[in-house]
Amino acid sequence: MRKANPKIAARYFPQKREKTDTVKENSFGKNHDVILDAYTAWRSLDDFRRKARRNKMYTFEDQWGDRIKTGNGWITERQSILNQGNVPLQNNRIRGIVRSVCGVFQSQQTEPICVSRDRNEQEKGDMMSSAIQYVYQLNRLWGVDSTNFQYFLITGLAAFKSSYSERNGKVDVWTDPVNYNYFFFDNHMQDPRHWDCHLVGQIHDLGLYDVMNAFAAGSPQKAQQIREIYRYVNKERTVSYLESLTKDENQHLDFFIPRDESRCRVIEIWKKESKERLLVHDRLTGDFYKVETEDAPALETENETRIMEQAAAGVAPEDMKLIEYEWFIDNYWYFYCLSPHGDILKEGETPFWHKSHPYSFRVYPFFDGQVFPFVSDFIDQQRYINRLIMMQDFVTRSSAKGLLAIHEDSIPEGMTPKNFADQWAVFNGVIVYKGKPGVPLPQQIVSNTTNLGVSDMLSIQLKLLEDISGVQGALQGKAPTAGTPASLYMQQVQNSTTSLTEIFESYRELREERDNKNLKLIQQFYSEPRYINIVGKDVNPQSMVYDPDTVRNSEFDLAITESSSTPAFRMVMNDFLMQIFGAGQITLVELLENGAFPFSDKLIQSVKMRQQQAQQAAAGAQMPPMVPGDVSGQIQAGTSPIIQQMLNSNSPLQ
């Protein structure tokens, strides 16, 4: 029996190769695998959300809310203290520390600046800087950053979502903060920059008609399908009874079921998929791009056409500008918008020019795949401070304070001990009794509770709290002790700020990532020229008009720099301008146009008006005296010669 030759068999009878494509064909418009991956990623963050809620509880709420095990089961520490007949006292120092750090962040106001890769085209960078700062003002991002920075300190996670859509009749670039309870990502990340993220998403609770507007625009049939998918939603109710502003409803958040029966749960998932594609280099135009493998015949046809045309033009074969391509596995971002049952509301490859997902997030500190929030570092010190305060209160309440001690034989006849005690406590009271030999006089006992060491321990814990958090008393605005030099106090503020530099730098990187995505959205979707008004900014007038054709294909480096709207920056800038103005290097108008003076606009108008009046006066002084009946001096230059002749001859027009 002859054996088969595998090489010949492979040549004449090739096996069908399974093509690589992780986006599977979905049956009946459902995708259960993707929603299961998203659910697994969300559940993987359960412990993170639990610790974040504990940090939030210690920052804003009940610092006796931890649960402990007793003979009657698990109860909170607050309930245990109440069961013992005591009052749970707390002195919240964490809130003050968080408020101080947020205050330092707000005082160091910064703004994004775009720098053109080609320094000769920096006007484009100024235009993009104005555009990105316009997006800042449109979205109130300075206030949003301050709020999200609190999440960053308390939970260790801050996230944003950048999109281009219509809101309140305005189509523009929008940036929204993302709550950590509704946010999820894969659990394989090890890179502190999060560049190895392969799955990220968010759960939304929307009204039925909002879902129809978002996913069924222009298709009544799709709108009817959405009605059928969410047929269990109570469309008649828009508001349900929930404890608002006081109760944490996110504590019992479910991945599939919304909190309110009138809302629709939509799960947005962005996943990095893989597919076979062709990487193309067009040597004629210099473009690099990728196409599907099915487009290979079209590329070959184009090459054959180019060979014929270039050969007819006498181009040597080795010099022909053809299309080169090679097979590769393309990793790209793909989005899914699903219902809790896996129904696909919308899906597709990322439509953005930045070729990524719309989320910008940062975990700090992200060490060895774990997060250790800023607030969690000094919770133990806060707990010990509360215990010392409770101990001092208990000792003070249980110690003797003005206890009256009297011998029974010293009570006068006809007077009860209660009457004696009442009379003893009456102002200017008088008790008449006969002393007996050997019977001690009444005395009042006052216990001294100042030597228990509680105050010293409390001072130590308060000092440890400042040392561990890095927020010293100077940074919190506390008055220095008597005799403290001003230079020493400022040095203490600077040292405390230095210990927080790592936190500020990590959040700055998050802002740069978010602003870079906003910049790409501006380049992609701002298709028409528009006037950009930056309130309170002195910008170049050429930068106030955004021209999409000028900057659409340009590359910029975005950096977060010191804002020119801070008082310190304005003072330094004005001092420098005054120096070069005093040296005669610039004029008064140039000083006012480039400086930050509150009266600059009005003063510039006054200066220009005075210059115009001076020019008009000088022109009037140079004009020859007018002769009665002579109209030649009134004839302006450029007047028709025929009219000049008629005016000079004083002849009427025929």
Question: What distance in Å separates the CA atoms of residue 452 and residue 379, rounded to the nearest whole number?
Answer: 25
Task: Report the Cα–Cα distance between both ends of the chain, in Å, rounded.
Answer: 123
Please give the pLDDT value at position 50.
Answer: 95
pLDDT tens-place string over residues 351-364: 999 999 999 999 99
Peptide bond into 373 cis (omega under 30): no
Specify the pLDDT at position 28. Answer: 45
Nearest to 131 by CA among 596, 507, 542: 542
Residue 599: inside a domain: yes
**Average pLDDT score over residue span 176-191:** 94
Number of domains in the chain: 2
Average pLDDT over residues 403-431: 76
Q: What is the DSSP string of 120-149?
A: GGHHHHHHHHHHHHHHHHHHTHHHHHHHHH
User: Is 67 a residue whose pLDDT tops 60?
Assistant: yes
Q: Given this model, what pLDDT does residue 565 score?
A: 61
Region 377-397 average pLDDT? 86
Concatenated DSSP letters of 275-340: EEEEEEEETTTTEEEEEEGGGHHHHHHHHHHHHHHHHHTT--GGG---EEEEEEEEEEEEEEEE-T
Residue 651's pLDDT is: 44
Distance (Å, rounded) from C-alpha 356 to C-alpha 363? 18
Beta-strand runs (E) in 52-156:
67-70, 73-76, 110-116
What's the mean per-residue pLDDT of the chain?
82
Task: Please report the DSSP string for 245-268 in residue order.
Answer: TTS-GGGG--SSS-SSTTSEEEEE
Q: In whole angstroms, give the CA distance from residue 645 to residue 637.
A: 13
Asked whether residue 431 is assigned to any structural domain, the reply reads: yes
Q: Return the SS3 of 370.
A: strand
pLDDT of residue 475: 67
Average pLDDT over residues 329-343: 94
Answer whether residue 36 shows pLDDT above 90: yes
CA distance 5 to 12: 11
Using one digit for the tens of pLDDT, what is the confidence trace for 73-86?
899 999 999 988 88
Highest mean pLDDT among 113-122, 304-313, 393-402, 601-610: 304-313
Give Cβ neighbours of residue 532 (< 8 Å, ≥ 6 apart).
130, 131, 134, 543, 544, 545, 546
pLDDT tens digits for range 23-33: 765 544 678 89
Q: Which of 392, 426, 446 is the last residue of a domain?
A: 446
Q: What is the mean pLDDT of residues 299-324?
A: 92
pLDDT tens-digit map of 499-521: 788 899 999 999 999 999 999 99
Does residue 238 surpass a pLDDT of 80?
no
Q: Is the pLDDT of residue 426 over 50?
A: yes
Enclosing domain of residue 408: 400-446
pLDDT value of position 14: 52
Q: Is pLDDT of 193 > 80? A: yes
Residue 135 has pLDDT above 90, yes or no: yes
Confidence of residue 269 (pLDDT cuts 50, 70, 90): very high
Q: SS3 for 465?
A: helix
Res 164: pLDDT: 95
Are residues 510 and 492 in contact, defined by beta-carbon separation less than 8 angstroms?
Answer: no
In a domain, 581, yes or no: yes
Q: Is residue 293 part of a domain?
A: no
User: Where is pLDDT greater, at 32 or 650?
Assistant: 32
Residue 522: pLDDT over 70: yes
pLDDT above 90 coverage of the chain, percent: 40
Query: Cα–Cα distances in Å, from 238 out to 99, 184, 207, 235, 244?
Result: 36, 27, 8, 7, 15
pLDDT at 461: 84
The answer to the question of residue 145 being in a domain is no
Binned at pLDDT 50, 70 and 90, residue 479 comes out as low
Mean pLDDT of 7-31: 58
pLDDT at 566 over 50: yes
Amino acid letter for position 480: P
Which is nearest to 531 in space by CA: 116, 131, 169?
131
Residue 586 lies in a domain: yes
Where residue 587 falls among pLDDT bands split at 50, 70, 90?
Answer: confident
Q: Is residue 472 part of a domain?
A: no
Is 389 within 8 Å of 89 (Cβ atoms)? yes
Q: Which of 349-353, 394-398, 589-593 has the lowest mean pLDDT?
A: 394-398
381, pLDDT greater than 70? yes
Alpha helix (H) ranges present in 470-558?
486-498, 501-525, 548-551
What's the predicted TM-score (pTM) here? 0.78
Q: Which SS3 state, helix, strand or coil, does residue 647 take?
A: helix
pLDDT given at position 637: 47
Is residue 598 situated within a structural domain?
yes
Mean pLDDT is lowest, of 96-110, 236-250, 351-365, for 236-250
Residue 195 pLDDT > 80: yes
